[in-house]
Structure 1
Amino acid sequence: MSGDPDAALPDDLDHADELLEKAEALMRRHKGSADADVLDDLPVLTDIVEVEDAAGDEGDGKPVDEMQMVERLIALDARLARAIEDWMETELPQIVAREVATVGERIREQALAHLRATLLPRLSQDISALLDPEADEGRDGG
Structure 2
Amino acid sequence: MTQAPKAELEIPLEDEDADPLFEKADALIQRHASFAIEPELDDLPVLTDVVETPPPALDAAPTTEPAEPTEPDAPLPDLAAATAAATRAEADRLAERLVLLDSAISRHIQEWVATELPQLVSLELDDLAERLQATAASHLRATLLPLISTEIADTLDKGPEA
Name the TM-score, length of structure 1 as normaliser. 0.55
Pick from 31, 40, 45 the counterpart of residue 22 of structure 1.
Answer: 31
Using the alignment, how far apart are the partners of 2:140 and 2:147 within structure 1? 10
Pick from 71, 85, 97 the counterpart of residue 72 of structure 1.
Answer: 97
Find the counterpart in structure 2 of residue 95 from structure 1. 120
Shift of 1:20: 3.9
Shift of 1:129: 1.8
Using the alignment, how far apart are the partners of 2:33 and 2:127 within structure 1? 47
More helix by share: 1
State the one-letter code of the partner of 2:136: A
Find the counterpart in structure 2 of residue 44 from structure 1. none
Over 6 Å off, 4+ runs: none
Pick from 127, 138, 155 the counterpart of residue 113 of structure 1.
Answer: 138
Using the alignment, how far apart are the partners of 1:21 and 1:99 within structure 2? 35
Using the alignment, how far apart are the partners of 2:88 and 2:35 within structure 1? 14
Using the alignment, how far apart are the partners of 1:102 and 1:127 within structure 2? 36
**Structure 2 unaligned residues grouped into runs of 5+:** 1-24, 37-78
State the one-letter code of the partner of 1:77: D
Using the alignment, how far apart are the partners of 1:68 and 1:105 within structure 2? 54
Using the alignment, how far apart are the partners of 1:85 and 1:79 within structure 2? 10
Residue identity (%)? 37
Pick from 64, 87, 110 the counterpart of residue 62 of structure 1.
Answer: 87
Shift of 1:61: 2.8
Find the counterpart in structure 2 of residue 81 from structure 1. 106
Q: Greater CA radius of gyration, 1 or 2? A: 2
Using the alignment, how far apart are the partners of 2:137 and 2:28 within structure 1? 52
Shift of 1:19: 5.1
Deviations 1:6-30 (A, max 9, x none): xxxxxxxxxx887544204479xxx
Higher relative contact order (CA 8 A, sep 6+): 2
Cα RMSD of the aligned pairs, angstroms, is 2.8
Question: Number of residue pairs matched?
Answer: 91
CA contact (8 A) 2:35 2:92 kept: no
Q: Per the alignment, do residues 26 and 78 of structure 1 end up closer, same or farther by CA in structure 2, a change over 3 Å counting?
A: closer
